[in-house]
Amino acid sequence: MARGGQVGDRGYSWGCKVSALSSPITTTIPVARPFIGAEEEQAVIDVLRSGWVTQGPRVSEFEEKFSSYIGCDHSVAVSSCTTALHLALLASGVGPGDEVICPSLSFIATANSIVHTGALPIFGDIDPSTFNLDPLRIEELITPRTKAILVVHQIGLPADMNRLLAIADKHGLVVIEDAACAIGSEYDGNLIGKPLGKMACFSFHPRKILTTGEGGMITTSDPVLAEKLRRRRQHAMSLSDVVRHNAKQIASETYDEVGFNFRMTDMQAAIGITQLGRLGDFLQRRRYLAMRYTKALLPLSWLQVPFVPSNCHHNYQSYMVRLLDGFALKRDALMQKLLEKKISTRRAIMAIHRELPYRSPHWNDSLPQTNLVSDTGLILPLFHQMTDADQDYVIESLYALQA
């Protein structure tokens, strides 16, 4: 049913029935909302009652199930995608004096993870049709100090990996994938996370499709690297807690380097295992709603709907459109008008180089497409429980505002 209980009989040319504009909206339609059910609650209770709450058997199980879902060899669970990226960069030998190329059009954690290693983020401009790194703008950024490219699959759309990997190969650079938003997305027929680069890093923050509250995962096909990541995520301890706990003879660990506490808890992993079972449904619903948006919004000449290259399958972690010339309102004014209609939206992906720690006149001039997309992009509501009627209301509101 429509929000407010009425379904209007006016249909637009795209063929869906839409809820009447006048239908009273009582609660604001959020831009995103995690889906957490009774199974997740039970899974956490089971862990609490087991007596083993931090990284333990549920984390191992989540890692194994994640690997078999993705089709990768090794998955290493950590506390967030930010810590995943930090560990992945360090394990690739990135450190002080190095440069790492990444997009500015990304969540700030992408660049922060580079700074945490002591290296310098070098921002590459993006392709305004995909919101991902433009391979044509990479080589001009490479210097003798460049060590790696941190490629983001922004809002879940895979970046142009074949061309980016070719450039990295030619210059001997490591490629790490910031796949924070990209669970379930596919590139050349494989799920993102079957690493195209050396490692791929995922986020399980509630704003992403699969959530554990906070959490992250690193995938790799290199067993030596996986072992290194596992050690360093828990203080570089030579024996895991589980091994010590189950040892028949006293077992003492050593600490041969300076590690971190980047562990995931078993409560989080238990939620993750349950969410992984729901992922197929999540993806199906998101893709259905995204197709529906695209079909409905395509006739609006002032709006750019998502473009998906033919070798990619998008998970629509976010549904982002862009305002083109010919629309009377500026992006922020449109957002305000939509909020007054109880529709919550978000400005596009941020431009990291505009935030205080990263500001410089150089970046302002060298990232025109990033600035353009960041100023004109708009993320529309899309979440698992969103009804067709919710979506019709959003679509109808956009049509009404163009007048």
The contact set with ligand PLP (CB under 6 A) reads 80-82, 106-107, 109-110, 152, 178, 180-181, 203, 205, 216
Query: Smaller CB distance to ligand PLP: residue 199 or 334?
Result: 199
Kindly state the smallest distance separating residue 109's Cβ from ligand PLP, in Å. 4
Kindly state the smallest distance separating residue 107's Cβ from ligand PLP, in Å. 4
Query: Smaller CB distance to ligand PLP: residue 2 or 152?
Result: 152
Structure tokens at 11: 């249909």
| DSSP state letter for 102 | E
Query: Smaller CB distance to ligand PLP: residue 77 or 270?
Result: 77
Query: Smaller CB distance to ligand PLP: residue 107 or 123?
Result: 107
Left, alpha or beta for 40 (phi > 0: left; psi -120 to 50: alpha)? alpha
Kindly state the smallest distance separating residue 80's Cβ from ligand PLP, in Å. 3
Query: Smaller CB distance to ligand PLP: residue 207 or 341?
Result: 207
| 208: annotated active-site residue | yes
Contact 53, 135 (CB under 8 A): no
Kindly state the smallest distance separating residue 84's Cβ from ligand PLP, in Å. 8
Task: Indicate which residue of 147, 198, 208, 228 is catalytic.
Answer: 208
Q: How far apart are CA 147 and CA 173, in angstroms?
A: 5
Kindly state the smallest distance separating residue 315's Cβ from ligand PLP, in Å. 12
In 3D space, the residue among 122, 142, 111, 124 whose CA is nearest the CA of residue 369 turns out to be 124
Kindly state the smallest distance separating residue 178's Cβ from ligand PLP, in Å. 5
Contact 285, 314 (CB under 8 A): no
Exposed / middle / buried, residue 66 (Cβ in 10 Å: 0-12, 13-18, 19+): buried
Continuous segment of H or E residues that includes residue 172: none
| End-to-end Cα, the chain, rounded Å | 27
Query: Smaller CB distance to ligand PLP: residue 194 or 207?
Result: 207
Question: What is the DSSP secondary-structure string of 220-239?
Answer: ES-HHHHHHHHHHHBTTBSS
Query: Smaller CB distance to ligand PLP: residue 19 or 132?
Result: 132
Q: Evaluate the CA torsion angle 217, 313, 172, 114 in order and state its sign.
A: negative
Q: At what angle do helices 266-297 and 38-50 cross, to 10 degrees?
A: 160
Q: How far apart are CA 57 and CA 76, in angstroms?
A: 13
Structure tokens at 157: 């759309």
Q: How far is CA 343 from CA 3, 23, 29, 56, 192, in A?
A: 12, 13, 5, 42, 31
Strands 99-103 and 120-124: parallel
Kindly state the smallest distance separating residue 21's Cβ from ligand PLP, in Å. 34
Supply the residues annotated as catalytic. Answer: 208
